[in-house]
Structure 1
Amino acid sequence: MSTSSAFHSLHPGIQRYLWAEQWEALREVQEMAIPAILPTDRDVVIAASTASGKTEAAFLPALTHLLNGDTDGLIVYISPLKALINDQFGRLDRLCEDLDIPVWPWHGDIGSTTKQRFFRKPTGVLLITPESLEAMLCNRGTSVAGIFKGAAFVIVDELHAFIGSERGKQLQSLMHRMEVVLGRRVPRIGLSATLGDMQAAATFLRSDGRATIVDAPSGNNELQLILKGFEEPPAPQDAKHEEVAPLAVAKHLHEVLCGTNNLIFPNSRREVERYTHLLNEISEQANRPREFWPHHGNLSKEIRSDTEAALKQKERPATAICTNTLELGIDIGAVKSVAQIGTPPSVASLRQRMGRSGRRKGEPAILRGYVIEDAIDSNSDLKTRLRLDTVQSIASALLLIDKWFEPPVAGGAHLSTLVQQLLSAIAQYGGLRAPQAYQLLCASGAPFQGLSSESFVELLRHLGKQDVLTQDSSGLLLHGPIGDTLVNHYSFYAAFVADEEFRIVAAGKTLGTLPITQMLAAGQRILFGGRTWLVEQVDEAQKTIYVLAAKGGSPPIFNGSGGRVHTRIRQTMRALYRGELRPTFLDATASRFLEEGKSAYEHLGLDENVLLDQGSHFLLLTWAGDAANEAIACLLGARDFNAQAGRLGVEVTRGSQTRNQLLEAIAAIASQPAPSSEELLVKAKNLAIQKWDALLPPRLLKHSYASLRLDVDEAFNWLRATGFNVPPTPQP
């Protein structure tokens, strides 16, 4: 390291530590980041692959700054996960103990004694979640300036996990509120392994978007990729049917993974349980010791900890079957390979998962994909005939190879989180006047900039009518009775909430519950218990969906789960159907699935045919992303059509309207200016998708939903570019 100028710019105490730890050289990302961070006069975004040394790239220069100058300085490290805080504490504690710098892990499992010691002398490194930081600002309003007076840096880990989410908007607000109290700018450092749009990441970190970007090369590790297909045979008549393809997948996983450490990602918690059971059952039959461990959010902390411990220890092999709980940077050691069962939630998610493999020098990253398709017969629906899951999985893998990831949805209004931040700020300051609150949260440079003062007043009046807020004789905004109850509940500090479960009721009988995350309206269809149901009524107050059994037609895409699909993925799928792309990573069955899908595409004339008659419904083939498809569905819904977004476009339930009337409606929509969000969502239900949405006035709720879920511009571009040729309606 004698030739490294970055190394020699570090504090001598840190240099000695690195020599003692036998570092041969700084990593490339560290060489790039250290000179960018040390001047402390700018924000910095650091993007590099998993296990590339990003954490040290931020902390080595930040700690150098503390050691060179302000011994009472404070580095605030913000993490999305408690487990990641615990990991970082283990990594930093030995270094910082050598440097005589205290490290303070801070979350719900940390005892009050440790927290009181920090408050007595708030210096060193504070490792904290957004929720704990929210509680600190909310409950210690008069002390906030003293607690953070030494703040030298704010480091945000796993930046991509925050961008575009309620939690991300909360984090932006917390960082802004901290700086308002301090009356100065605190440099921000964002760390991420997966960023599809570096400038969007810089703008998320601070609204001026002027952060220095450190985009380290990802290295030249080889990627070994295979996609395997499995076919589910037709269910025998008059017999209880058990699926055979999942067992075949489990047997292959057991064969290729035994004896090594791996991660397996099915697409739901239910599937995690299914494959854990199957794999352990196979191991027992083979008289092998346990190697397969579950990990998802519904499991207890102890079970998740057992899985993490099994992965970290080196004496015995272990494989975790997990949801996205193991996507982020928890240190679980090196894994040999990653398996993805079913279509990945997103390309960015697939990239994050793949980054867990190939972390040792010279080792390839290994990614195994598994797709299950039903056998084709005379009753097969369009999805099965097109082999949609296979083609989407191939498209995602091709985009991964091309190093494309979904850009973050950074333009959402997130007015649900504004309600929380307003209540929190009122608690912090002991009351605020309306102009002060607007200046703090909505003015230029503030987290909710862009909301007009008129809309803010509309929100305040609505919250007043609901007793969430009240105003004293001097004009000071205070918590009303409902507001007091909300703020004093332990759940207040989280900006997000788990998907709410809706009861599904048919003919007075409860069929079960389903997490609902998208707009619903009467006339739409849902899939539940292996059957298709028609939505008759949505009772939002009672969280109940009343349904009728639906006959005919293809099963709907809507089932209460799954990621949002970007237009680029669907356009890549279309290129595969056209034969423009020829993937080389498919096994024989997956190759057959692709050829069958291409044949169906050609046979049905889907390259030219934009509107398909599917018997029970019409299908608009848009090849657009979910945000555009949902916007088109809303545009049609406002004209009395029952429409919903699907995996190939927009499904329009056949009612009294004819094909020509649908075409006329589309042509009329395309010829007019885009409607307001209030007009667009006039008939929509279940718009309260975020935690505090139920407290918003109707107009602002529609505005917030549209900003987060709909791409009206893309919808109109498709409608206008398609140029439907509408036959004249016969005159009576």
Structure 2
Amino acid sequence: MTTHTSNSFFLLDERIQRFLWQEQWEALREAQEAAIPFIVGADRDVIVAAATAAGKTEAAFLPALTHLLQQETPALIVYVSPLKALINDQFGRLERLCEQLEIPVWPWHGDIAASTKAKFASQRHGVLLITPESLEAQLCNRGTAVAALFERATYFVIDELHAFIGSERGKQLQSLLHRIEIAIKRTVPRIGLSATLGDMNLAAEFLRPGGSTGVAMVVSKSEGGELRILLKGYEEPLVVRAKPVFVDEAREQTADEDDEEPPEPQMPAAIAAHLFKSLRGTNNLIFPNSRREVERYTYLLNRLCDAQLVPNEFWPHHGSLSKELRLETEAALKQKERPASAICTNTLELGIDIGAVKSVAQIGPPPSVASLRQRLGRSGRRKGEPAILRGYTIENALGGQSSLATDLRLNTIQAIAMISLLIEGWFEPPAVHGMHLSTLIQQVLSVVAQYGGATIGQLYGCLCAPGCPFSGVSKDEFVTLIRHMGQKDLLVQESSGLLLHGQLGETFVNHYSFFAAFASEEEFRIVCGNRTLGTLPVSQMLTENQRILFGGRTWLVKEVHEEEKLVVVEKARGGVAPAFSGGAGRTHSKVRQRMRELLEADDIPAYLDPMATQFLAEARHSYRRLGLHDTAFLDLGSSVVVLAWFGDDVNEAITCLLRYHGFDAMLAGPFVEVQKGQRGVHEMVQALKKGIQPERLSDLFSERDNLQREKWDWALPDSLLHKAYSSRYLNLATAAMWAENL
């Protein structure tokens, strides 16, 4: 350990210094050097933002443990993680050090034995590693004991901070920390650890609502070494069917076509073959964009292993797999004897320690630039090794009635846009807007459980007053919410004014599933006639008569059943083939604007293979041929496509505004499609410029729109559901600004 240049090393307790000597640390990392002076005094909130494997955990724990060792009475560090697997990891990392320091470490989640939890409850000091859900269970079930349980809390350490920001779970965590501070009658310093934060000020506001100016920031710039990128393009050939000779045969063939399964795409097998050839013998992560695709590529790669008579090296990992199968994959990645690659969804994006991987493969555009950055942080972690990104995009062959998405090669253009933004160091800022009323319902029920009843004034003061997690909710809105919870039998009011659980509320709170604020990731079942076509995650509003792409075909949405998570479709005829296929997350405006810049430019990125280069050239040719450089409206005969080149929040706002003004509009991936009627583009522009008055917000939606995205949305009155949805998913301000400039 070179200590002569390190001031921070000497701020650590001598026993910790000795441990670092024994472990043969050469030096403190940049993030650790900068964070230790801020954290060791336990007198302020701190955010430590650094690349994956930059030593963030130690940057928090070395100074926090030093502070604990200096106290005359036992103290407590509460570490909150989004994943049980991360808690198990951190327990393994901390246990050896803490054993030497004689500081107990307590993992606490659903799989931990009751005896361990009882032991912690009797001692209440050391390091507690816990999930938000287990924290919620403590506040609900040990109401009167909460103050005693956390009275020694000296730090709250929140790992993977970016995974909480802007989510229902993040709002729940804010509320839980706030409620613990109310119970112990003091504030506790909060330390946020994160690899990906686009805007530090927004992150600070999340960490300490209303007190962000006092948050110290540690941003480590050392992003590691060389980055190698290859983007390969694959063209899916057109399916040509023999043309019938007679009219009757044509009718017969059309009927047959409707019933016949679409052919399996050919290109995934070609991508699997390239992955097999390039990745065998090393550890890698492969990210397709859905659970269905994870299963597809796992099957293809396992088959290649069998055909070559070699041991399997490719393992699946996604949220729907059983715990045993996920642990099997994690174990395969961690062991050093045999190479292993995981085909995964974002479940392996967060900091589960699977060791260094050689490369990261991304099939299709990633959900966001931030997630691509997070994924890539797994590669190039060994000294002298580059980080390697292999990207794969599939485009349908041009010809026949190719869609606008195919003509513009949108998969490839979006992938290039995201890679270019990644190289520049841009990624999405935290989405901190949103009323999160679903979680407010859960927290109202939880507070009533904690105190055995509460008045409406106490609830508002605890949850919605200035500086509280739900401070954006007005008194009138809160009263409306509480009344509606009464109508739903979630709450009842005694004659004294005390609010208690209603019969239904009692049932919910007494079930273990209550502790999670987020809805389990349910997919909508897609049904045509009496046949189930499959399931689809839905991240945009679905409306009747909207076209969706599923299983290589275009379908017309006939009904959306929110409660049953069911979409009834029929085969679509004509119209623009949509780019909407669900599941890839919501795209930011900066990405779409970069896509347009790429289409208008002439340079060719060096990391494209010949087919991806051809896709880029074809996309630019189509863009110019269609005259899209100087119009935002493309006439397709029966409909007009609006190309605003904004993110999903703006496009969805444009769609809602056009519908409000009487147009038949629907989302079509990165565009908005409007069916032609009596009125033309000029009337459309005028309607968008008119916008909508805030008091008419509810008129943007119809009764049939699928707005219930979160766990408790079903318990919201329509007026608040509309407000909650708008605050989270619509950007009306930018839509209005864009319309003004048309």
Alpha-carbon shift at residue 362 of structure 1 (Å): 1.4
Partner secondary structure for residue 551 of structure 1: coil
Q: Is the aligned partner of 1:538 residue 2:560?
A: yes
2:301 corresponds to which of 275, 279, 283: 279
The aligned residue for residue 111 of structure 1 is 113
Does the CA contact (< 8 Å) of 2:228 and 2:387 recur in 1?
Answer: yes
The aligned residue for residue 665 of structure 2 is 643
Q: Is the aligned partner of 1:670 residue 2:673?
A: no
Report the aligned-residue RMSD.
1.6
Q: Is the aligned partner of 1:157 residue 2:159?
A: yes
1:572 and 1:80 map into 2 onto residues whose CA distance is: 32
1:464 corresponds to which of 475, 486, 501: 486
Alpha-carbon shift at residue 236 of structure 1 (Å): 4.1
1:430 and 1:230 map into 2 onto residues whose CA distance is: 61
| Superposed CA offset, 1:19-76 (max 9, x none) | 1111121111100000011121110000000101000000000000100015421100
Partner secondary structure for residue 629 of structure 2: coil
The aligned residue for residue 728 of structure 1 is none
The aligned residue for residue 726 of structure 1 is none
Alpha-carbon shift at residue 280 of structure 1 (Å): 1.6
One-letter code aligned to 1:147: L
Which range moved further: 512-521 or 488-497?
Answer: 512-521
Q: Is the aligned partner of 1:229 residue 2:229?
A: no
Matches within 5 A, 1:422-441: 422-441=444-463
Alpha-carbon shift at residue 378 of structure 1 (Å): 3.0
Which range moved further: 662-671 or 159-168?
Answer: 662-671
The aligned residue for residue 598 of structure 2 is 576
| Superposed CA offset, 1:248-269 (max 9, x none) | 1111111111111111101111
Does the CA contact (< 8 Å) of 2:438 and 2:710 recur in 1?
Answer: yes
Does the CA contact (< 8 Å) of 2:76 and 2:124 recur in 1?
Answer: yes
Alpha-carbon shift at residue 581 of structure 1 (Å): 5.0
The aligned residue for residue 443 of structure 2 is 421
Matches within 5 A, 1:498-577: 498-507=520-529, 510-577=532-599
| Superposed CA offset, 1:672-722 (max 9, x none) | 554443232255611111000000111111000001100011111111111
Stretches of structure 2 lacking an aligned partner (at least 5 in a row): 243-259
1:492 and 1:611 map into 2 onto residues whose CA distance is: 47
1:546 and 1:360 map into 2 onto residues whose CA distance is: 50
| Superposed CA offset, 1:633-682 (max 9, x none) | 0111112323222333211234xx2352x531431330455444323225
Determine what percentage of the aligned residue pairs are the same residue.
Answer: 59
Q: Provide the aligned length of Structure 1 versus Structure 2.
A: 719
One-letter code aligned to 1:666: V
Does the CA contact (< 8 Å) of 2:658 and 2:687 recur in 1?
Answer: no
The aligned residue for residue 692 of structure 1 is 712
One-letter code aligned to 2:289: N
Does the CA contact (< 8 Å) of 1:499 and 1:516 recur in 2?
Answer: no
Partner secondary structure for residue 622 of structure 1: coil
2:15 corresponds to which of 13, 16, 19: 13
| Superposed CA offset, 1:337-395 (max 9, x none) | 11001111100000000000000111110001001111111321111111110000000
Q: Is the aligned partner of 1:177 residue 2:199?
A: no
Does the CA contact (< 8 Å) of 1:636 and 1:666 recur in 2?
Answer: no
Alpha-carbon shift at residue 461 of structure 1 (Å): 0.6
Indicate how the Cα distance of structure 1 residues 145 and 684 shifts in structure 2: closer, same or farther if over 3 A, else same.
same
The aligned residue for residue 217 of structure 1 is 221
Matches within 5 A, 1:375-394: 375-394=397-416
1:259 and 1:135 map into 2 onto residues whose CA distance is: 45
Does the CA contact (< 8 Å) of 1:73 and 1:124 recur in 2?
Answer: yes
Partner secondary structure for residue 88 of structure 1: helix
Indicate how the Cα distance of structure 1 residues 502 and 364 shifts in structure 2: closer, same or farther if over 3 A, else same.
closer
| Superposed CA offset, 1:279-303 (max 9, x none) | 1211222222211111111111111
1:304 and 1:543 map into 2 onto residues whose CA distance is: 26
One-letter code aligned to 2:509: V
Which range moved further: 117-126 or 502-511?
Answer: 502-511
The aligned residue for residue 250 of structure 2 is none
One-letter code aligned to 1:324: N
Which range moved further: 89-98 or 551-560?
Answer: 551-560
Matches within 5 A, 1:348-387: 348-387=370-409
Partner secondary structure for residue 45 of structure 1: strand
1:605 corresponds to which of 627, 636, 647: 627
Does the CA contact (< 8 Å) of 1:266 and 1:272 recur in 2?
Answer: yes
1:130 corresponds to which of 121, 129, 132: 132
Q: Is the aligned partner of 1:318 residue 2:318?
A: no
2:726 and 2:161 map into 1 onto residues whose CA distance is: 24
Partner secondary structure for residue 342 of structure 2: strand
2:527 and 2:25 map into 1 onto residues whose CA distance is: 63
Indicate how the Cα distance of structure 1 residues 197 and 632 shifts in structure 2: closer, same or farther if over 3 A, else same.
same
The aligned residue for residue 725 of structure 1 is none
One-letter code aligned to 2:562: E
1:35 and 1:499 map into 2 onto residues whose CA distance is: 41
The aligned residue for residue 727 of structure 1 is none
1:113 and 1:354 map into 2 onto residues whose CA distance is: 40
Matches within 5 A, 1:34-433: 34-207=36-209, 208-210=211-213, 211-237=215-241, 241-433=263-455
Indicate how the Cα distance of structure 1 residues 191 and 580 shifts in structure 2: closer, same or farther if over 3 A, else same.
farther
One-letter code aligned to 1:302: E
1:582 and 1:543 map into 2 onto residues whose CA distance is: 43
The aligned residue for residue 33 of structure 2 is 31
Stretches of structure 1 lacking an aligned partner (at least 5 in a row): 723-732
Q: Is the aligned partner of 1:716 residue 2:719?
A: no
Indicate how the Cα distance of structure 1 residues 668 and 638 shifts in structure 2: closer, same or farther if over 3 A, else same.
closer
The aligned residue for residue 3 of structure 2 is 2
Alpha-carbon shift at residue 490 of structure 1 (Å): 1.4
| Superposed CA offset, 1:286-327 (max 9, x none) | 222211111111111111111111111111111111111100
Alpha-carbon shift at residue 511 of structure 1 (Å): 4.4
Indicate how the Cα distance of structure 1 residues 625 and 21 shifts in structure 2: closer, same or farther if over 3 A, else same.
same
The aligned residue for residue 730 of structure 1 is none
One-letter code aligned to 1:19: W
Does the CA contact (< 8 Å) of 1:145 and 1:181 recur in 2?
Answer: yes
Partner secondary structure for residue 9 of structure 2: helix
Indicate how the Cα distance of structure 1 residues 664 and 297 shifts in structure 2: closer, same or farther if over 3 A, else same.
same
The aligned residue for residue 658 of structure 1 is 678
Partner secondary structure for residue 15 of structure 2: helix
1:706 corresponds to which of 719, 723, 726: 726
1:42 and 1:665 map into 2 onto residues whose CA distance is: 53
One-letter code aligned to 2:237: P
